[in-house]
Amino acid sequence: MQAIVLTDESDPRSLRLGSVPTPQLREGEVLVKVHAAGVNRADINQAQGNYPAPPGESEIIGLECAGTIADPGTTSRSIGEPVCCLLAGGAYAEYVAVPEGQLLPIPEGYSMAEAASIVEVACTVWNNLGQIAGIREGQRVLIHGGSGGIGSFAIQCAAAMGAEVAVTASSEEKLRYCKDLGAHLLYNYRESDWSRELKNTVDIILDVVGGPYLEGNIRALAPGGQLITIAIQGGAKSTINLGLLMMKRLTVRGTTLRSRPREEKATIVAATREAVWPMLADGRIRHHIHETLPLADAARAHELLDSGAVTGKLVLEV
């Protein structure tokens, strides 16, 4: 089959279509013919050599896709069934092997391109805000990087759960976009000190910045508050004051979705389907595709995402 491969391992721009073996199915897996694959920041890190595939998983890039079942393996699925998939890798290809627990139905009214680019973000956001943080009506939630793929989904999901949503972003334009999605409190981090304005008031923070924001995040959290770091775009290391953590009874967590065991992913997928799929069907969460490109243009898609000029998701079509 055709798949995106790194022709020069030292050059992340060397992503090209190449020929690779079609995946062999293992117990409980189905073979999905990929129609569209979502592009994620983690894909860029993988192309740069900084985020290798978990042991035993496909080394092809791509954490989510939509398509049709080409071979149901030992499952009771039907050939031709449309699905979207949470993957540990392998989406940038014509075919991918998927554990049955990581299949989801195409959300009502969604195209393949839309479905392909919503799975990773939906599972990530629901696992963190819903399953881990236990988001409740009336809580204040702070979303950093509100206009990005994770951020724009998290704003809508938190607002749909009845939370008061605060966001940070780098420009007035991005903040207007966040406001349109339902954010209530808007902070341009170049011009205001969000951590002092929100001091001691935030119940849950979903963070993608990491080290440079840790002190401010701890300042912003209310007693009993929770910080969940899901990316470290600003760096990993920081100083932490455990005395403050005690006094405010705070929780600081790091999470990733990709490295979870398959059984945990199946639980996350099932919870996300139950909580989030109805929000997609009735429009409480809208999904915005920034641009759709051919699979062969993976390198250009990565460059575009890395430029920071993308609001919404990028999709590769096979």
Rule CB under 8 A: which residues touch a second copy?
210-211, 214, 223, 229-232, 236-256, 259-260
**Would you say 42 or 106 has its CB closer to a second copy?**
42
Radius of gyration from C-alpha coordinates of the chain = 19
Tell me how far, at minimum, the Cβ of 31 lies from a second copy, in Å. 29
C-alpha–C-alpha distance, residues 190 and 118, integer Å: 29
Other Cβ atoms closer than 10 A to 184: 16
Please give the structure tokens belonging to residue 20: 């690779």
Tell me how far, at minimum, the Cβ of 220 lies from a second copy, in Å. 16
Q: Tokens 């065991």 — which residue?
A: 261
In sequence order, what E strands does 100-201 have?
103-104, 140-144, 164-169, 185-188
**Would you say 248 or 273 has its CB closer to a second copy?**
248
**Would you say 17 or 230 has its CB closer to a second copy?**
230
C-alpha–C-alpha distance, residues 190 and 311, integer Å: 18
Tell me how far, at minimum, the Cβ of 56 lies from a second copy, in Å. 15
**Would you say 162 or 223 has its CB closer to a second copy?**
223
Element (H, E) at 109: none
**Would you say 149 or 210 has its CB closer to a second copy?**
210
**Would you say 190 or 249 has its CB closer to a second copy?**
249
C-alpha–C-alpha distance, residues 173 and 170, integer Å: 9
With contact defined as beta carbons under 8 Å apart, do 67 and 83 qualify? yes
User: Phi, psi (5° rounding) for residue 226?
Assistant: -130, 130
Tell me how far, at minimum, the Cβ of 7 lies from a second copy, in Å. 28
Cα angle for residues 106, 263, 33 (degrees, 5° grid): 35
Q: Tokens 């592009």 — which residue?
A: 39
Q: Count CA atoms closer than 13 A to 21's CA, side-chain side.
A: 5
The 3-state DSSP class for residue 37 equals strand
Tell me how far, at minimum, the Cβ of 259 lies from a second copy, in Å. 7
**Would you say 26 or 253 has its CB closer to a second copy?**
253
Tell me how far, at minimum, the Cβ of 184 lies from a second copy, in Å. 26
Tell me how far, at minimum, the Cβ of 16 lies from a second copy, in Å. 30
